[in-house]
Amino acid sequence: MGSPMFSWTCAFALALMGLCQMAHASEFKEEKAPDFNEEVTESDFRMASDYLQHYYGLQGEPLRRRKRSDSSLISKVKDMQSFFGLNVTGSLDTETLEIMKEPRPAEFQTHKTTATTRVPSGIRTSFHTGKGQADNGVSYSIRKYTADLPTHTVDSEIESALKVWSQASPLRFVRSASRQADIMIEFASRAHGDSYPFDGPRGTLAHAFGPGAGIGGDTHFDDSERWTAGSEGFRLHLVAAHEFGHALGLKHSRNPASLMYPTYKNRNPQNLLSNEDVTKINALYGKKAGSPSSRPQWGSLFNPWLLGPRFPFLMQDKCSPSLSFNAVTSLGDTELFFKDRYMWIKYSQQCDVKEGPINNFMPKITSSIDAAYSIPRKSSAYLFKGSSFWTVRESQVKGRPKSIYRYGLPRWVEHIDAAAHINTTGRTLLFSQDLYWSYDENRRAMEDSSARSIGDDFPGISPPVNAAVYRDGFIHFFLGSEVYKYDYPQKRVADIDKANSWLG
């Protein structure tokens, strides 16, 4: 028989596993819960319950009181099956149990902050200034070793694992003797002082804390496992490379070819990163110097280390079916999406998406964005917040914010909910609450001084509108997590889709 499979876990996303799941008809009608396989042994049932509590937030309950047909248990099994691409039955079948038994590096969603704050000074200067002259170094230190390998072998394996990421990004990892390094590495067993005790041999192999203050970036390996530099036991180089991905801000991937896939798999040590891994690390830190790029530079590249303990909250999940946007617009060959103080930049005809806090791309803007629109012939976009707006040209914010009353809006309008420029007419529609105005960009004046009713002129659209954009002859209204494709001449909704589908 092959060796049993285990699982890795990391400091970002206990909630991640259930985010990108399909809605099922069972959510809308009553159905009988499927029976769990009665042949499942008591030890497997105990293991499955512990697994679901650890990784999917199943509420703890004494095992003797846990029923195998418990609806919450079945729901969590479905979440897990959906994430791993299994048949979503809610039953503990053989394939599901095998995945649960795989070795797993651990991923955490949040972490506790200690009194000491550590921020890589090199990253701060390099990415914040965009000069490209500062040291892009991230310091690391090995605080405690394992007895499984000689010290020099551990040093070599750790250095090699970090090199996996430095070869794909501008980051440079620097060994430090300090106890205040950006990434503190240690081997430990059971409870080891971070509120996330290890579980002994097999199970969770290691965990890492995402970028932030205090413990952020630190990476721990379960010393109860057998660590090796060869084919026996668990290869330190492979597990460490996965964990350092989490320490740098990457979440688990659903792609089995990705290094960030959440279960341990033997891989070619010379080619650990998939295209997806490279794309994601580039989205966070940019491309390695010398890499070809024809895209505009959006200010400072995304540097999560600067965000401190708020970073785990800021990392949005674009696969979430509940994802909504505050503003959507285009600029050149890119589409811009805004949510709170976060943004995505999607390049036309490509799946590549850059993302991060707005002021990492547009340093002059430190707030969220209420609405946005663009005028292609001017190569300009306009971003609204409260009673002010900014002008953006060629990815640069020009000048200071201006007053929205320049458009001729009445003073009682305190903010714009959404805006859309109609290329064919030269009009810009400005939406606020249940009303809208039509602004003539050529005459720089309102088409009509009086506001019009959204409900009257756009049947099928229920205000307030979160965001709007004109594309391919249709006005697309973003209402919560859905986007309505609106045929304005016909006064009807032509199609409805999920808002997150626009991120590819």
Binding site members for Zn(2+): 192, 194, 207, 220, 242, 246, 252, 260
Tokens coding 122: 């090199």
Helix (H) or strand (E) holding 172: strand 172-175
> Exposed, middle or buried, 436 (CB in 10 Å: 0-12/13-18/19+)?
buried
Annotated binding site: 148, 182, 192, 194, 199-200, 207, 216, 218, 220, 222-223, 225, 242, 246, 252, 260, 370, 372, 419
Q: Which among 31, 82, 86, 24 has a CA at the least distance from the CA of 56?
A: 82
With helix as H, strand as E and coil as C, how does 450-490 read? CCEEHHHHCCCCCCCCCEEEEECCEEEEEECCEEEEEECCC
Q: What gap in Å lies between CA 62 and CA 46, rounded to an integer?
A: 10
Tokens coding 405: 């009353």
Q: What gap in Å lies between CA 350 and CA 488, rounded to an integer?
A: 28
Q: What gap in Å lies between CA 190 and CA 169, rounded to an integer?
A: 34
Catalytic residue among 102, 157, 186, 243: 243
DSSP string, 334-364: EEEEEETTEEEEEETTS--EEEEEHHHH-TT
Q: Are 91 and 37 in contact (CB under 8 A)?
A: yes
Q: What gap in Å lies between CA 492 and CA 484, rounded to an integer?
A: 10
* Cis amide bond preceding 464, omega within 30: yes
DSSP letter at 367?
S
Annotated binding site for Ca(2+): 148, 182, 199-200, 216, 218, 222-223, 225, 370, 372, 419
Q: Are 138 and 182 in contact (CB under 8 A)?
A: yes
Q: What gap in Å lies between CA 395 and CA 412, rounded to an integer?
A: 32
Q: What gap in Å lies between CA 480 and CA 32, rounded to an integer?
A: 31
Q: What gap in Å lies between CA 143 and CA 44, rounded to an integer?
A: 36
The question of whether 61 is a catalytic residue gets the answer: no
Residue for token pair 């964005």:
369
> Exposed, middle or buried, 271 (CB in 10 Å: 0-12/13-18/19+)?
exposed
Task: List residues with catalytic annotation.
Answer: 243
